[in-house]
């Protein structure tokens, strides 16, 4: 048992095992996410020309909607729409371009699926327009630190907010990764972001944390995050984890992103068994099978 869980047990009288199994009811505009009752699968829909894995595959409206409907059919609990690649080395796009890419997709999708749609953006104006178009979750890779207006938009919209940790920008994050204790540094940054959220009026039960696998971390850091996931759970918020086809998996296997499905599925199993509430994936059908079996084992 790590120190944080021990402190939790001492302060509350609750056991660490109960803490790990805690269910978080996260309200969104059309329902509630019961995080902890099962692991939720978030399907990635990149409507960009330059994403590291699926760039150009879904950057037309027809292709994007077809893909989203397919993910919903395969069991995705959330559809995550993104209009700017955040792969290492990626250049930012303008607000206008990002809006042009994501809003038509969200408008059509919100009329065709009864699943929560999240907007993957760090720009407040993009988040606002996406919510107006039908999105009901904000997935902010900037952790409220890249756009000062994001906390206000999330508070006013009363939608769940994913606060992710990253170091630097996509252009620089892998050139200057975390140098010291990776878990301590991430926890410190996430606490700062959570304080910003609460001070802005965001309800505590609408906050989800993401330690940001691959965002300013080395391959060894990513493995350590997966191994020490309990320490992030001890902050008292549900956790989202995104490992899907990322470079550290290919590095271990000496394979490309296109060849790293099975490696990805291994990381999903570890994430679920170590307490992730949501996994963000490209391959929904396979991920659903993995998390279903892991949930059965974990909850037995």
Domains of the chain with CATH codes: 24-298 (3.20.20.20)
- pLDDT greater at residue 3 or residue 241: 241
Helix locations, the chain, DSSP H: 3-12, 16-20, 61-74, 95-112, 124-133, 150-157, 182-199, 219-227, 229-233, 247-253, 261-273, 284-298
Of 216 and 5, which is predicted with more confidence? 216
% pLDDT > 90, the chain: 78
pLDDT class for 2, splitting at 50, 70, 90? Answer: very low
Please tell me the predicted confidence (pLDDT) of residue 234. 87
- The mean pLDDT value of the chain amounts to 89
Q: What per-residue confidence (pLDDT) applies to 22?
A: 84
Top pLDDT among 149 and 85 is at: 149
What confidence tier does 54 reach under pLDDT thresholds 50, 70, 90?
low
Looking at the DSSP bridge assignments, the partners of residue 231 are none
Positive/negative CA dihedral, 142, 146, 148, 149: negative
pLDDT level of residue 52 (50, 70, 90 thresholds): low
Asked if residues 217 and 208 have their Cβ atoms less than 8 Å apart, the reply is no
Average pLDDT value for residue range 124-137: 98
Please count the other Cβ atoms lying within 10 Å of the Cβ belonging to residue 120.
30
Specify the pLDDT at position 18: 56
Residues linked to residue 78 through DSSP beta bridges, in sequence order: 42
Measure the CA–CA gap between 78 and 118, rounded to whole angstroms: 7
Residues noted as catalytic = 246, 280
Which tens digit of pLDDT belongs to each residue from 166-209? 986 655 545 555 667 899 999 999 999 999 999 999 999 999 99
Q: Are 113 and 68 in contact (CB under 8 A)?
A: yes
- pLDDT tens, residue by residue, 72-118: 999 999 999 999 987 766 778 999 999 999 999 999 999 999 999 99
Q: What is the pTM of this model?
A: 0.90
Residues in the chain, how many?
A: 300
């Amino acid at each position: 048992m790590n120190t944080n869980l021990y402190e939790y047990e001492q302060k509350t009288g609750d056991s660490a095992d109960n803490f790990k199994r805690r269910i978080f009811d996260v309200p969104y505009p059309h329902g509630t996410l019961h995080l902890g009752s099962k692991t939720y699968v978030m399907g990635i829909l990149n409507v960009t020309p330059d994403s590291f894995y699926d760039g150009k595959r879904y950057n037309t409206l027809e292709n994007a909607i077809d893909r989203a409907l397919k993910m919903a059919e395969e069991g995705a609990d959330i559809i995550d729409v993104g209009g700017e690649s955040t792969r290492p080395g990626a250049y930012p796009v303008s607000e206008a371009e990002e809006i042009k890419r994501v809003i038509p997709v969200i408008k059509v999708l919100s009329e065709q699926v009864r699943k929560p749609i999240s907007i993957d953006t760090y720009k407040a104006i993009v988040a606002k327009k996406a919510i107006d178009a039908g999105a009901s979750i904000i997935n902010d890779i900037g952790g409220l630190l890249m756009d000062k207006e994001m906390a206000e938009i999330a508070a006013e919209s009363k939608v769940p907010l994913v606060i992710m940790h990253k170091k630097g920008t996509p252009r620089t994050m892998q050139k200057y990764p975390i140098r010291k204790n990776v878990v301590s540094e991430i926890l410190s940054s996430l606490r700062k972001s959570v304080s910003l959220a609460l001070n802005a009026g965001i309800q505590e039960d609408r906050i989800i944390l993401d330690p940001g696998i691959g965002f300013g971390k080395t391959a060894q850091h990513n493995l350590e995050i997966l191994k020490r996931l309990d320490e992030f759970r001890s902050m008292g918020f549900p956790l989202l984890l995104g490992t899907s086809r990322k470079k550290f998996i290919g590095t271990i296997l000496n394979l490309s992103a296109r060849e790293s499905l099975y490696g990805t599925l291994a990381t999903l199993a570890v994430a679920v068994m170590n307490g992730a509430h949501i996994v963000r994936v490209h391959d929904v059908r396979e991920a659903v099978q993995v998390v279903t079996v892991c949930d059965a084992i974990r909850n037995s």
